[in-house]
Chains A and B, each alone.
Chain A
Amino acid sequence: MNPSTDEPQLKILCEDINKTFIQKGHIEVPVIRDINLQVAENEFLVVLGPGQCGKSTLLRIIAGLERPDTGYVALDGFPITGPGPDRGVVFQGYMLFAWRTVLGNVEMGLKLRGVPARERRSVARHYIRLVGLEDFENHYPHQLSGGMKQRVGIARAYANSPKVMLLDEPFGQLDAQTRMFMQHETVRIWEQEKRTVIFVTNNIDEALFLADRIILMEGKLPGRIKQEYVVNLPRPRDHEDPGLLKLRTTIAAATELVL
């Protein structure tokens, strides 16, 4: 809000977020409780926690796809009331439009916002190049591998020029090797096109490799923030780095379930 200070600008603010789901009409399942979170501009925040700890729900609340029962969520000081193109989302299950080519998928956001065809084509091509799929822009999703599909998902979110990128376990369906490669790619892409990133994962090594800061969630519902860790290491990181391994031990000790 105040560009004259050296303090990093606050991008996302969550205050006292609570969310309870109603199952089968009457059973109340508290999903997240008392979440307070601040994310600075261009910060890479990783939310780390096992399955079923409410971390995806938190992301969906920030995306505007769910409304919190109580609490306040804001982007650049304006309350979030619904989904919008200022927040790009990458989904775990890729969620590509099977009936559109890579190019058609990536330019969808621009199309929905009424950008003329020529302009959206050139923007889409820029991001397709950024994720390294320039030779595949006329392919359909079913012709792509899992890693390539998620590249399309990332390019599609980027093409809308969001202020914040929200990634919900984006590499959860990939094999270990592809996953590691995609983590390198994520760092490369993020360094070329800096954005505020909130990245949800259940993988401690992925978190350590990517994050400026790690939010560790408690291992069971309702999801609470258990601990926060700043990862102050230069990128690209080495999984074998002693500083990283030390932090890994600390985080693993704080985690009740083996992640």
Chain B
Amino acid sequence: MSSSIANETVAATSGQEGFSFYRLVTNIYFLYAVSLCTFFLLWDRVAAWQVFGDSLARPHAVAGKLYDLSQVKFAGTNLAGHIWASTRRVLVGFTLASAIAVPLGLFMALNKYVNAVVKPIFDLFKPMPPIAWVSISILWFGVGEFSKIFIIAIGTFVPCLLNSYNGIRLIEPELYDVIRVLGGNRKDEILQVSFPASFPAIFAGLQISLSIAWTCLLAAELMNARNGMGFLIKRGMDTHQPALVLGGMVLIALMAWLSSLLISRIESRLCPWKRSIDNL
């Protein structure tokens, strides 16, 4: 029955074939294109008219700068090296933090004694913005890799833990009743309900954590670094090269987007049952 309805729809729309202005301006892809073209045109004009003096590079200058960077070494490292230096910091800090925070959050939600011990300390640290740790971590660990990884780990820890904790706390209690009436015990409740039901919340936490990780990375690299995308931005600022600053920004955004895409892919692989919701 549904297929016949679909056929009728197709027949109805194909009747209005041909060009019309209304159809063009209501075409989503046309509007996407208009939106992007307007943005880049505006950017280019604002830069060309020197609204911000010489501190805004034109789009093609940014692209050219990125191309140059990929050709020659900059501060002893090529472009891939800078990208990798930053990505490695995020990867290590994020993995370290989530490997501890996710299981800890699950334990806290499942065991009230663990919760009673961990929660007061966690609540103490929770409202602290992660960037506030930058200075103290440099005092403690110097300006090397470890202090950068530390800041990233601190920043990602909180949302990871909160989301895995809430993921279990928000499970409908009657789902546990189902396991019990089917003949299951506490272990079955945890394995068959708690863990799978908390998966989407855990992944939501990982997504939030990841975007915080890139923010923390940038803060750490702006303070002090000899390589990385934050370093490119900082160097661009110090030597007044707006194209370099914007190029670094574009690169960081690109990497943040790619890593978030990776997490989404892993999630849809692991949770094929999740209703797909359009990403913003």
Contact = CB atoms under 8 A, between A and B. Distances in A.
B99 interface: no
Nearest to A153: B178
Interface of B is mostly: helix
A84 B180 CA distance: 7
B175 interface: yes
B273 A99 contact: yes
Contact of A109 (B174, B182, B271): B182
B54 interface: no
Taking each of A63, A65, A108, A112, which has the highest tally of chain B beta carbons within 10 Å of its own beta carbon?
A: A112
Interface in A136-152: 140-142
Interface string B170-181: 001011011111
A132 interface: no
Interface in A141-196: 141-142, 156, 160
Interface stretch (B23-31, B39-47, B191-199): B191-199
B76 interface: no
Nearest to B178: A95
Interface of A is mostly: loop
B269 interface: no
Contacts, number: 68
A107 B172 CA distance: 21
Interface in B162-191: 172, 174-175, 177-184, 188
A159 B199 CA distance: 27
A65 B273 contact: no
B179 A112 contact: yes
A89 B178 contact: yes
A112 B184 contact: yes
- Range for the number of chain A residues in contact with chain B: 20 to 34
- Range for the number of chain B residues in contact with chain A: 20 to 34
A113 B175 contact: no
A95 B182 contact: no
Given A95-B172, A100-B273, A63 B181 contact: yes
Contact of A112 (B183, B271, B272): B183
B182 A108 contact: yes
A197 to B, nearest CB: 15
Nearest to B183: A85
A204 to B, nearest CB: 26
A88 B181 contact: yes
Contact of B183 (A84, A99, A101): A84
Contact of A95 (B175, B188, B271, B273): B175
Given A65-B177, A83-B177, A108-B192, A99 B199 contact: yes
Contact of B174 (A93, A112, A113): A93
Contacts of B273: 98-101, 140-142
A221 B262 CA distance: 54
6 contacts: A63-B177, A64-B180, A82-B180, A85-B181, A85-B182, A100-B196
Interface of A: 63-65, 82-85, 87-89, 91, 93, 95, 97-101, 108-109, 112-113, 140-142, 156, 160
Given A101-B273, A141-B273, 13 more contacts: A83-B183, A85-B181, A88-B181, A95-B172, A95-B177, A97-B178, A97-B196, A109-B182, A112-B183, A112-B188, A112-B192, A140-B272, A156-B182
